[in-house]
Structures are given as structure tokens and as C-alpha cells.
Amino acid sequence: MNPSNLPTQEWPAEPKVQFGPWACEPPLDDESEAFRQSLRQFATKVMRPIGQELDRLSAEQVAAKGSRLYEFFSQYDKLGISLELLFSLSDEQRAVMFPILFEELGWGDAGLAIAAAARMLPFYMAAKMGNQFVLKEYSEQLIGCWGITEPDHGTDSLDVSQQLFHSQGRYGRPNCTARVSDGHIVINGQKAAWVSNGSIADLCVLYCAAETANGPDPQHGFCVVVPTHLPGVSRGKPLEKIGQRALPQGELYFDNVKVSIDHLLAGPEDFKRAVYAIHTDANLLMGATFSGVARSAYDHALAYAHERKQGGLPIIRHQDVARRLFHMLRKVESAQALTRRVARFNAFEPVPALQAAMLAKVTATEHAFEVASDAIQMFGGNGLTCEYPVEKIFRDARASMIEDGCNQVLAIKGGYNLINPEWL
């Protein structure tokens, strides 16, 4: 090799790289950067003030008509990020835009981000499963929710193949079942208090067991969009909880509810495909949202480390504080990078990889929790008070490790997927 053929890199006398607001991210194309800037502005001006205000209210006050939650929905609609727009993007564009959307919403407020995501799920799943009737019949502005878990079957409802079932377990009847009768799906039972938007939703994308001659079959169920104004649908009280308090949650009850067969997204033969599809996108969405939550906690901690003085110096000048910030940023960047990598991989695969989406969800939510906890430590006593934003972010992040499946269970299922990707 002739060394004179090798290009020499220009190297300034004083090497110095300044991170921008998104740390070591290479520049985005103009369109994606403009998209993110507008979302950042929305997150700063609309989401953070509304999210902080709703966090202090009771769950009933958050869910009540006229609360600022509905102002958030209408402001979000003004951004023009419709499902039509998302589905009109090329695979390449969607792989970039989808994570940016949820990173920025998560940076603004985790509870509101999930409320916006759950709101679109019945429509999103109708588009995925090719149900034109639902897409034409209902407006995207309606509030949606996803009902899958049940009071007696939380983890179990997410484990359709029953790989995790205990050999000595007695799993009992599902809490919610459906059957087809006379051109209608007839639904009975209830979904868990944890249904996001459950207490305010107009439409529910419901996953439930099929009633058969041999009793209910949770492995071959129905996925159906149910308008909540139908006779026989009722709601539980909004749930009081530790974090994501801007997100109303509550049970849905079904008493002989009849919904026309046009609302069916998947029947018993297709049920696992419908579960797989929603899990894959929900896990990726959680990865992006909680990468944003992690960055938000880090940003607050970094700013505070510059402001707060001890010994007459900003605390960031203390060696251990700089070290801690380094590890916080490492976790933020790795959560975001992994989630984007999975978004890209899944956008180009004919069948997106559920186990890859689970890697993103588990990593981002655990990193968000750890970074939020470290942010509290960075703020010292102030971190524990409601006067500062980090205790709320910590509570929001804590919920995410259970949301859409406990991380421990997702790791087992993701691990089994490495043996056989056909298992769900």
C-alpha cells in the first residue's frame, strides 16, 4: 500500500464538536427536520403546559368534557398528521418520520403522547387489516382505544400462543367473549381498567376470545371495531394512577352488544395476525415515545447542572456530575438509535419483526426510567418536589415498564421468537 494514496483528514488545531439539541445525530433532510421542528414547538408550547396541568388534576377531572385534554387533541389535529398522510409516505420516509413523531410527542408529555397514539388505533388497525367500511364510516377525529387486557387476564391476553402459560395453571374463562349471530358480532364481558382512553373513547379496537361450541377460545378470537355509543356498552370510572396522568384509563363493559359484521377486522383464523400486527407497531411506538421521555429527563438534568451552583461552581464542573450526565446521554442515544434501527428494519421487511420491536420497547422504557431517576438525583432535594418537572417524568416512565406488556414478559416472548419467529 502506498501511504500517499490515503486521504488525509483535515483536523482543526483545537478539535471541538458541539452537540445540537439532538446530540450526536447526523443532519436530517430538510423535510424531516422541518417536521421535527414543528413537533418540538408543539411539544414545548402545547404539550408540556397541558400535560403538567392535567398531572395535578384528578382522573375524573382529566376525563371530563372541557378539560384541556380535548384542547390537546384539537391542537394536535391542526398539525395535519393524519393516518392518510402517514400511510401515503414511502417506506423510507415512514421509517424516519414515525420515530420522530413519537420521540417528540414523548419529549413533550408521555401521557398525552399515548393518548394521541391510542386515539388513532382503531383507524390504524382498520387500515392495516384493509377494512374500508370502518375507514369510510368513521372520522379520524373520534377518540379511539385498544381493549385487549382483562381484569383476570393481563399478561395472559398478550400471550396468545400460551407459551408462557404455567403447566399447572388454571386459566379460567376469558372476561370478554364474542360470537357471530345473524350478521352481527355479539359481545359480552369486560376489558381491564388499563385501557388507554377507555373512559373517553368513541371507538374501541377490541380483541377478545371467540365463543365456540367447546367454550371460549382465546387463541382464535375476534378483532373488531366497536363504537362505544352502541346499546350495552358502558365505561368504568377513570383510573387514578402514579404516572401518565394526562392519559385517561378505564374499563369497558359489554352487555350483549351487537355490532354489524362490517366492523370485523379479523376473525378466528386471522386473530393471531391481528395481535401480531398491533403488538409490533405498539412496541415500536413505545420505543420511540420513551426515547423522547428519556431525552426530556436528560435535557432537564443537563440544564440544571449548568444552573445549580455548589462550592461557587455550576455542579456540572464537579467530576462525578459530568460522569453521570455522560451515562445518562449514553442511555438516551442508545434507546433512540436502536428504536430508529428497528423502525428502518421493520419498514422494509414483508413481515415486521415483533422481537425487534420488543428490543426497542424494553430498552427505551428501561432507559427512560433510569435516566429519569438519575435526573431526580441530579436535582437533589429539588428533584423530589412538584416545583420541578423531573419527578413527573419519573412517574410517567415508571408506568411504561408495565404498559403494553411487562418488560420481563416481553423479554421471554422476544426470546422465544429467537427460537421460532412463528410463535407469538
Ligand X SMILES: Cc1cc2nc3c(=O)[nH]c(=O)nc-3n(C[C@H](O)[C@H](O)[C@H](O)COP(=O)(O)OP(=O)(O)OC[C@H]3O[C@@H](n4cnc5c(N)ncnc54)[C@H](O)[C@@H]3O)c2cc1C
Select the span of 33-41, 93-101, 194-202, 306-314 touching ligand X (CB under 6 A). Answer: 194-202
User: Nearer Cβ to ligand X, position 245 or 340?
Assistant: 245
Q: Of these, 399, 410, 414, 417, which contacts ligand X (CB under 6 A)? A: 399
- Binders of ligand X among residues 233 to 252 (CB under 6 A) are 244
Dihedral through CA 410, CA 415, CA 420, CA 421, nearest 10? 50
* Minimal distance, residue 286 CB to ligand X, in Å: 10
Shortest distance, position 410 Cβ to ligand X, whole Å? 9
Specify whether the CB–CB gap between 174 and 189 falls below 8 A. yes
| Smallest separation, CB 198 to ligand X (Å) | 7
Is position 403 an interface residue for ligand X (rule: CB under 6 A)?
yes
Position of minimal CB gap to ligand X: 154
363: CB partners within 8 A, 6+ apart: 287, 334, 335, 338, 339
The residues, any chain, with a CB within 8 Å of residue 76's CB and separated by 6 or more, are 42, 46, 116
Torsion-angle region of 162 (φ positive above 0: left; ψ -120 to 50: alpha; else: beta) = left
Q: How far is the CB of 164 from ligand X (least distance, A)?
A: 4
Closest distance between ligand X and the C-beta of residue 219, in Å?
15
Q: Is 154:192 a contact under the CB 8 Å cutoff?
A: yes
The Cα 254–Cα 190 span in angstroms is 6
Give CA–CA dist 209/160, Å, rounded: 10
| CB closer to ligand X, 105 vs 378 | 105
- Residues 289 and 343: their CA atoms lie apart, in Å, by 13
- Give yes or no for residue 409 binding ligand X (CB under 6 A): yes
Binding residues for ligand X restricted to 49-68, rule: CB under 6 A: none
Question: What are the percentages of helix, strand and coil residues in the chain, rounded to 5?
Answer: 55, 15, 30
For ligand X, which is the closer residue by CB, 199 or 346?
Answer: 199
3-state SS assignment for residue 227: strand
Nearest distance in Å: CB 125, ligand X:
13
Kindly state the smallest distance separating residue 132's Cβ from ligand X, in Å.
Answer: 25
CB closer to ligand X out of 195 and 264: 195
Q: Indicate the residue among 292 and 333 with the shorter CB distance to ligand X.
A: 292
Which is nearer to ligand X, 144 or 352 (by Cβ)?
144
The contact mask relative to ligand X for 345-384 (x = CB under 6 A, - = no) is ----------------------------------------
CB contact burial 343-363 (16+ within 10 A = b; e otherwise): bbebbeeeebbbbbbbbbbbb
Residue 296 CB, shortest distance to ligand X, in Å, is 17
Is the Cβ–Cβ distance between 51 and 112 less than 8 Å? Answer: yes
Least separation in angstroms between CB 114 and ligand X: 7
Q: Round to whole Å and give the CA distance between 5 and 377.
A: 52
Indicate the SS3 state at residue 312: coil
Say whether residue 196 binds ligand X (CB under 6 A).
yes
Least distance between ligand X and beta carbon 136 (Å):
25
Give me the residues paired with residue 254 across strands: 189, 233
Which of 358, 343, 347 lies closest to 421, judged by CA?
Answer: 358
Tell me the number of residues near ligand X by CB under 6 A: 23
Indicate the residue among 180 and 409 with the shorter CB distance to ligand X: 409
Site string for ligand X, 149-168 (x = CB under 6 A): x----xx--x-----x----
Binding mask 121-150 for ligand X (x = CB under 6 A): -------------------------xxxx-
Residue with smaller CB distance to ligand X, 96 or 115: 115
247 and 115 Cβ atoms separated by less than 8 Å: yes
Task: Choose one: 180-188, 192-200, 217-225, 324-332; the region binding ligand X (CB under 6 A).
Answer: 192-200
* Contact residue for ligand X among 406, 411, 416, 423 (CB under 6 A): 406
Say if residues 330 and 294 touch (Cβ distance below 8 Å).
no
For ligand X, the closer of residues 36 and 191 by Cβ is 191
On whether the CB atoms of residues 38 and 46 are closer than 8 A, the answer is no
Which residues in this chain contact ligand X in the complex, by CB under 6 A?
118, 146-149, 154-155, 158, 164, 191-192, 194-196, 244, 399, 402-406, 408-409
